[in-house]
Amino acid sequence: MALRVLGVDPGLTRCGYGVIDADRAPRLVRVGVVRTPSDLEHGKRLVRILAGLREVIDETRPDALALERVFANNQLNTVMGVAQVSGLVIHEAASRGIPLELFTPSEVKSAITGYGGADKPQVGEMVRRILRLDAVPKPADAADALALAIAASWRSARGIPTGAAPRAASGALTPAQQAWLNAEKATRKQF
């Protein structure tokens, strides 16, 4: 039976989501964004995002959820909105008993492209190839959400717990697993 994973790229204006079924080859189930206008009252924006994500969860019934970890940058308003949306996702996963994985951007990029410094077009193109899509999902928030879902499904398929060194069947690390491990180590050093 395939593992169904929902990836969420949190944002206040555009909250990307992507659902895949992960079996031998990942398959797209649903992708999109929940949008809110910037002139809508802040609380109503959060309500709209939560309602949209609940609809996706209710319709697709994911077995696992993957969320991009919030990083602080110079844009405090952006970080606050992303953090608030992330809190909604964490609450919803916990309330429903859905296992949740948090990923740094470099972990996802390493898992999808093999390089933690990949840019958005590179990640989008690899998502397109992995899921055998005709085009890269738009906007980038949707492609990023699918990348999160793919990364979580690969980690789960290999039985790799958060923070643990991944191991291939032979005991050696694949290049993608080594890149993932390096990204996790670099992230832990930052905190």
Structural domains in the chain plus CATH codes: 3-190 (3.30.420.10)
Closest CA to 143 of 18, 27, 59: 18
The three-class DSSP label of residue 167 is coil
Asked about 23 being catalytic, the answer comes back as: no
Asked about 55 being catalytic, the answer comes back as: no
The model's pLDDT over 62-84, given as tens digits with 9 standing for 90+, comes to 999 999 987 666 566 678 889 99
Extract the tokens encoding 34: 């929940």
Instruction: Choose the catalytic residue: 21, 68, 107, 184.
Output: 68
Beta-strand relationship, 3-9 and 14-22: antiparallel
Q: Which residue has the higher pLDDT, 86 or 73?
A: 86
Question: What residue numbers does the annotated binding site for Mg(2+) cover?
Answer: 9, 68, 141
Extract the tokens encoding 124: 């989008």
Asked about 68 being catalytic, the answer comes back as: yes
Closest CA to 65 of 104, 8, 108, 146: 8
Please give the pLDDT value at position 172: 53
Please give the pLDDT value at position 27: 95
Least confident of 49-53, 118-122, 175-179: 175-179
Task: Tell whether the model's pLDDT for residue 173 goes beyond 80.
Answer: no
The pTM of the full predicted model, rounded to 2 decimals, is: 0.81
Q: Where are the alpha helices (DSSP H) in the chain?
A: 42-60, 76-96, 105-113, 120-130, 140-157, 175-190
